[in-house]
Structure 1
Amino acid sequence: MNASPAVKSVNARLAEELSVGEGQVAAAVRLLDDGSTVPFIARYRKEVTGSLDDAQLRTLDERLRYLRELDERREAVLASIDEQGKLTDELRAALMTADTKARVEDIYLPYKPKRRTKAQIAREAGLEPLADRLLADPGLVPDEAAGEFVNDQVADATAALDGARQIIIERASEDAELVGAIREKFWTDGSVRTAPRSEAAAASPAAQKFRDYFDFTEPLDSMPSHRVLAVLRGEKEEALTLTLDGGDDEAYEAMVAATLGIDAAHSGAATPWLATTARWAWRTKLMVSASIEARVALRRRAEADAVAVFATNLKDLLLAAPAGTRPTLGLDPGFRTGVKVAVVDGTGKVLDTCAVYPHQPQKQWDQAKATLGALITRHDVELVAIGNGTASRETDALATELIGEIRKAGARAPAKAVVSEAGASVYSASEYASKELPQLDVSLRGAVSIARRLQDPLAELVKIDPKSIGVGQYQHDVTAGTLARSLDAVVEDAVNAVGVDLNTASVPLLSRVSGVTPALAAAIVAHRDSTGPFRSRTGLLDVPRLGPKAFEQCAGFLRIRGGDDPLDASGVHPEAYPVVRRILDRSGLAITELIGDATSLRGLRPADFADDRFGVPTVTDILAELEKPGRDPRPAFETATFAAGVEKVADLKPGMILEGVVTNVAAFGAFVDVGVHQDGLVHVSAMSDKFVSDPHEVVRSGQVVRVKVIDVDVDRKRIGLTLRLDDEPGADAKRSASKKNGDKRTSRAPRDDARGNRSTKRGRQSGQGSRSRPNGSMAQALRDAGFGR
């Protein structure tokens, strides 16, 4: 089969899945194959693809990879069957219409080279005709029919029947239609059952976080991803046994019998033997394979959901509001080892570092204030960034007191904000950090990172492996390659959506720009260091190994502020500068006059400047960019103000209304830092008066929110919160949303301890979770989340 029909088939399938034109897909595929990146295609090739956006292109890219792998496997299977001399037109047609890898493997199963099976040995002993006779005529007496096949290889009639049975069982297990039907039924009707691995395991402290799964059942097709990954982790840690039950065995046995042409109602002598054979085919072969496939599908779906949650949270964190290029004091809190301090200028350059010891056991409170006050004065500090780990609240109190004293003295006081430390220790010990800050001790690098995160979260977080940022749901249980590919795409999209300052960007940040590899990023920085700042985008072509293709892909996403051409500070691609020149000629204005002149720009018609290369979509984007050149899509900077006197879980009381920051969003709710070193949970049922299917519809990571404390478990460090500020703590009254939605649970709703509440200690996750369900009273939701037990 030639490649052309396969390519067309792939394009047609992608067009159908994305609900777009096949021409759009074909154009996108050509660009991707030519080395263009998704951000570049989405932004600068709208005319070519019919304005496919980055989300559509990411889906297209992922599915394109799968469908091409499917075609490759299909070709390999066709070749294998053809070599065996068994390829018929019917078989070829079945393989050509197979739309999944699983379907291809089902069809290939009877022809797949395999080790000698019991069925193969029976065939070699001449027992296949016996199997055929018994299936064709259930009126035969099995022992009598089998007697004819006793020979040197077959000891007696019993052995002959055993061999015939193995042949029939193998036929059933290799029937593509039957295997597919059973797979679908098992998934639809099956369930997950969990129990303690043993009495000893159940009693162990390590297994207690899984105790809500000691007697648990839930349907396969509706089990939420966070609970799937929780029970799989419990199984991996040898706390749980996990069983997949397909449901009514007799129904599956009837499916097998029907496929083999066995009529259980027939009164023939061979009917009981044939019925037993159908039962064995189900229980010894098909049930096992269906269970294995269901487990794989269950994990795959759960991983896909977990990756999607992680990706959404990561995007929100990367695109969090930057505080801007202002001198910043970074504080990495600690008790015994002290508070590490770093001052950076507006560009992130380290100006000063030290350590202070205001907390126990040293308790050098006044000395610490004096040291920090001197640093603020010396470097004209405008922002104070405080890490949210151990001793965060105590350090926040120190900064609050110091800022108050500065204000009383009549001086300009800096603003302060608490910053997530997630992954900071990973950065501090990384190879890049040792090259970037070689003169600093590992402990001080964390303070530098905290300061820079406040200035520009995106620029700093790209230096850390996304998996270490700690905003995922069971990310350690997800296949590494799948997670990495998805998170890398998120980082790439975020970086290119914001744009990068070519003259200040780090190697990690530049390496996330469209078309720029890590090696090219290092070459750009080396060139910048040796020759000075870039004056124009075309200067990139002087960088070794950066050719025209790389320039095409990256130039539009790189910014040069104060350079030779004002357009180099915008998102207008250099290839489109002639369009801008035409706009200038029409308006009669200089480029410096036109940029930012909303009145003049909005009076222009994009169609007047379109041509064969640059259509209306691109010209529209150019006009919008000229109105607000280099605009940052991130929101305005804001910080949460933690309540005074609320520093630990024991300080919380039901009914308190607090301000906090969303630290993580999972399928079952959101975690909020209210300043007590332990995030609280807002269950999905406590997010709105309306039905919420996805918590991301309501909140995002990094968002400042107001919450009410509903329940506090000091011993287990669990905090129940609600976004509905009129909720009453402990009330079990049905809310309007509950009445409207009803309780749709299909099984026990355990507390998902294995996922847990993200600890404020950097890089760690433990603790609490809850079932995601669109229903119910607040009290029940809290019980699901582990409160009141």
Structure 2
Amino acid sequence: MLPTIEQRLATELNCKAPQVAAAVTLLDEGATVPFIARYRKEVTGGLDDTQLRLLEERLRYLRELEERRAAIIASITEQNKMTPELLDAVLHAEDKTRLEDLYLPYKPKRRTKAQIAIEAGLAPLAESLLGNPALDPETEAGKYLRAPFESADGNNPGVADNKAALDGARQILMERFAEDATLLQSLREYVQEHGIVESKVVEGKQEEGEKFADYFDYTENLSSIPSHRALALLRGRREGMLDVTLRLDSEPEKPKWDAPHNPCESRIAARFGIRQAGRPADKWLCDTARWTWRVKSFMHLETELMGALREAAELSAINVFATNLKALLLAAPAGQRATMGLDPGLRTGVKVAVVDATGKVVDTAVIYPHQPKNDWHGALHTLGQLATKHKVSLISIGNGTASRETDKLAQELIKLYPEPKMNKIVVSEAGASVYSASEFASRELPDMDVSLRGSVSIARRLQDPLAELVKIDPKSIGVGQYQHDVSQTQLARSLDAVVEDCVNAVGVDVNTASVPLLTRVSGLSASVAQAIVNYRDSKGAFPNRAALKAVPRLGDKTFEQAAGFLRVMGGENPLDASAVHPESYPLVEKILRDINKDIKAVIGETSLIKTLQPAKYADEQFGVPTISDILKELEKPGRDPRPEFTTATFKDGVEEISDLRPDMILEGVVTNVAAFGAFVDIGVHQDGLVHISALSNTYVKDPHTVVKAGQVVKVKVLEVDAKRKRIALTMRLSDSAPVAGSNPQQRADRNDRRSMGQHSKQSAKAEPLGGSMAAAFAKLRS
């Protein structure tokens, strides 16, 4: 028998079956991955959140597989076609592809040409010619002529002549050959290894499809095509600009009918003992093998394998998005400091919002320092008054249209108003407009004009990126690659998991958190999160975690899942501000009694805590892993896993692409990471691309191992194409810019910028599918 789901998952996760079984039980009981990973280590044997997420995803797949297996067995049994051998094969099918291959001959289908031929009595003709090629096809066919007739399934044309008889017999054999599961798997494996993806521009679409120019005459091995190129090809096909096909590497040109069998046709012939030996039926049978490949098997495999390519590419793109999103959500917070948010604009003005240290909006304004009004001094005066009145510490500037001009304004503001001491930071404004028009924003800021809400979001995301970005649909945050081309259900599930993991890794202040933030806490639904806020608004701040039990609809199970991730800052019990779960409070009290100390004397005392031995306090309920976690938490209660807050300093005088020069070294912020490299904001309204080969002096397989979204990096300018708004950068500062005039083609990645969701308002508008530079990549490859 096939191993159980638990056994298969244990093998895939490289752990023991009991660990998997315990995790599956917890998931089925409604426990979340963050809760299991942090508070049930003894139960699962220490499975971490990455393993648990994979387990959760694979568990879903394997359960669907078992449901499909049961349905197939029932269907074949109902047809009275189940045999012991077939049942054994179905029971041992390890994946959905193998299962569907076995089911193919029994799958209910529309009345086929083969079925019509069988109704007409041509099955014996097909069997006799296959079994004895010495028979003469024409002579044998003459024995099966039949007038049209009515069958149980409808009208049958009968068998008018020898040609009709042989055509019908061929259809019967073709269907049998094409539905042979063993043969189909052999053909699939061959095409996977020897398949070539080929694309040509659709005639007459050269100008309209210019953005896909690199794929107008393109070939690449099916087995090696990277995800971003696969998605670009498939998008081009979907938009009607490209013809994308699959062929064998041995057939660059369409083969003729009288050519020798290709490797796949030879496999079909060999499987059924067909060979050219000069016998009367040999040619007819060889042609039948060829027809099977060209008309049935290849068309089936082309659809399936191109679909598999799309699924694999989508999964890769989703993983890139998830990794980037995690980096962005866990970016360093500036902290609780009064912040001014500037949403830059030209004709419509710069929208201004000031929020206090808690994120509460205390003032708003609209200024017009840029064209066409050019009220520079009036804008400075307004900002100066707001900064002085509210003791602004930080200025957060959106990175869209007019951001560098607005950055200049902020710089002059800081010089004119040295008190309060202010710092300015340019932040990504991706998703701010989505938030502005959202239902939550209308409830949170009901009396504020929609155009001003974006500046509030820009200010708050500097204070605490996680707390603000959870209010926005993750797909609108702009760190994806071909995000609109992938399965939206799978994308949403993956991104939701990332947000949940990030929120619970950091923890949430239950007395200040918004509904969207609370909704992402382990165990809390949107309705319960709203109930917590309503209760807080009517009863006041929660004095301790236990008080949460008074919230309507927040039962014991929900409290168990959520309590460890909710913080009560400055409350009655210092443990309520930590990640120690309330269920472990008795254990902490036991430790305190043993060392004769109170909790306030222990928290933060690293030297004391390091003398404690976790094994001494272990019992049936709490093992060494949990106790070790508790002691670490007592050392630094409520510690934030996010890094220290740092900012990039854009170079003065470098504000437009035209200001860039080769070999110029600049500081920038990574805005997005893709499979082929990283995009960096260097303050010129257009992100530059550091190709994967230019990220490090050593080989880099995955850019995410070197950089992440939000990271401050130093880069050197290699080449600038101002006309096409393309900037090639390198993080290998010893590299030199390519010599002018050298322009070898680096075709493969030129369209990759076009895959990215959004880098700035300008880049998105200028090149909705933009690309990296051939010359720069040629240099980087050397």
Per the shorter chain, which TM-score range? Answer: over 0.9
* Aligned match of 1:657: 665
Measured in 1, the distance between the counterparts of 2:624 and 2:64 equals: 37
CA distance in 2, matches of 1:79, 1:779: 56
Residue matched to 1:162: 167
Q: How does 1:622-771 map to 2 (within 5 A)?
A: 622-730=630-738, 750-752=750-752, 754-755=754-755, 758-761=758-761, 764=764, 766-770=768-772
Matching residue of 1:70: 65
Question: Structure 2 regions of 5+ residues with no counterpart?
Answer: 148-157, 251-260
Separation in 2 of the partners of 1:78 and 1:762? 57
Q: Does 1:340 align with 2:351?
A: yes
Which residues of 2 match residues 291-370 of structure 1 at below 5 A? 291-370=302-381
Give secondary structure in 2 for the equivalent of 1:659.
strand
Q: CA deviation at 1:767?
A: 4.2
Match of 2:142 in 1: 147
CA RMSD, 1 decimal? 2.0
Report the counterpart of residue 188 of structure 1 in structure 2. 193
Q: Once the 2 structures are TM-superposed, how far is the Cα of residue 151 of structure 1 from its aligned partner? A: 2.1
* Deviation (angstroms), 1:184: 1.6
Structure 2 Cα separation of the partners of residues 444 and 757 of structure 1: 24
CA shift at 1:231, angstroms?
Answer: 1.0
Query: Where do 5+ consecutive residues of structure 1 fail to align?
Result: 735-742, 785-789
Query: Which residue identity is paired with 1:225?
Result: S
Offset of residue 88 of structure 1: 1.2
Q: What letter is aligned with 1:400?
A: Q
Kindly provide the CA deviation profile for residues 679-725 of structure 1, in whole angstroms up to 9, marking residues without a partner as x. 00000111111101111111000000010111001111110100011
Q: What pairs up with 1:32-51 in 2 under 5 angstroms? A: 32-51=27-46
- 1:419 counterpart letter in structure 2: V
User: Is the contact made by 1:668 and 1:770 (CA closer than 8 Å) also made in structure 2?
Assistant: no
Per-residue CA shift, 1:341-382, capped at 9, x if unaligned?
Answer: 000011110000011111111111111111111111111111
Q: Is 1:30 aligned to 2:25, yes or no?
A: yes
Alignment of 1:347-746 (within 5 A): 347-407=358-418, 411-730=419-738
For residue 777 of structure 1, report the CA deviation from its aligned partner. Answer: 9.8
- Inter-partner Cα distance in structure 1 for 2:427 and 2:106: 60
* 2:125 match: secondary structure: helix
The answer on 1:251 being equivalent to 2:255 is no
Q: How far apart, CA to CA, are the structure 1 residues paired with 2:560 and 2:224?
A: 46
Residue of structure 1 equivalent to 2:207: 203
Q: Which residue of 2 aligns with 1:739?
A: none
Whether 2:89 is the aligned partner of 1:94: answer yes
Structure 2 match to 1:780: 778
2:154: which partner in 1?
none
> Deviation digits for residues 194-243 of structure 1, max 9, x if unmatched?
11111x21023xx1111111111001111010001111111122211111
Counterpart contact for 1:688–1:723, Cα < 8 Å = yes
Alignment counterpart, residue 275 of structure 1, candidates 258, 278, 286:
286
Q: Partner of 1:454: helix, strand, or coil?
A: helix
- Of the three residues 110, 132, 137, the one matched with 1:137 is 132
User: Does the 8 Å contact 1:419/1:450 carry over to 2?
Assistant: yes
AA in 2 matched with 1:40: F
> Does the CA-based 8 Å contact 1:730-1:779 persist in structure 2?
no
Cα distance between partner residues in 1 of 2:14 and 2:775: 40
CA–CA distance in structure 2, aligned partners of residues 701 and 208 of structure 1? 30
Name the residue aligned to 2:258: none
CA distance in 2, matches of 1:752, 1:643: 27
C-alpha distance in structure 2 between counterparts of 1:438 and 1:782, whole Å: 51
The Cα shift of 1:156 comes to 1.5
- Given the superposition, is the C-alpha separation of residues 115 and 166 from structure 1 closer, same or farther in structure 2, using an over 3 Å criterion? same
* Letter aligned with residue 553 of structure 1: Q
DSSP-derived class of the 1:122 partner: helix
Identity %: 60
- What amino acid does structure 2 have at the position aligned with 1:546? L
Does the Cα contact within 8 Å between 2:728 and 2:772 map onto a contact in 1?
no
CA distance in structure 1 between the partners assigned to 2:234 and 2:531 by the alignment: 45
CA spacing shift, 1:210–1:180, aligned 2, 3 Å: same
Question: Counterpart amino acid of 1:217?
Answer: T
Distance 1:305 1:501, change over 3 A: same
Distance (Å, rounded) in 2 between the aligned partners of 1:749 and 1:363: 41
Distance in 1 separating the partners of 2:64 and 2:552: 36
**For residues 697 and 86 of structure 1, do their structure 2 counterparts lie closer, same or farther at Cα, with a shift above 3 Å needed?**
same
| Shift in Å, 1:102 | 1.1
Structure 1: distance between partners of 2:713 and 2:26: 42
Distance 1:779 1:480 in 2: 32
In 2, Cα distance between equivalents of 1:20 and 1:119: 49
Shift of the alpha carbon at 1:759?
A: 3.3
Alignment-derived partner of residue 737 in structure 1: none
Work out whether residues 694 and 780 of structure 2, in 8 Å CA contact, stay in contact via their aligned partners in 1.
no
Give the AA of the match of 1:727: D
Measured after TM superposition, the shift of residue 244 of structure 1 is 1.2
2-structure distance, mates of 1:51, 1:164: 61
Q: 2:275 aligns with which of 263, 268, 271?
A: 263
Letter in 2 for 1:173: A
Q: Contact 1:470/1:763 (CA < 8 Å) preserved in 2?
A: no
Answer yes or no: is the 8 Å Cα contact 1:423–1:762 preserved in 2. Answer: no
Distance in 2 of aligned mates of 1:749 and 1:432: 40
1:324 partner letter: G
The alignment partner of 1:700 has SS state of: coil
Offset of 1:769 from its aligned partner? 3.9
Residue identity opposite 2:223 in structure 1: D
- List per-residue Cα deviations over 1:290-316 (Å, max 9, x = no partner): 100011000001001000100000000
Are 1:654 and 1:709, in contact at CA under 8 Å, matched by a contact in 2?
yes
Structure 2 SS opposite 1:653: coil
Distance 2:579 2:478 in 1: 31
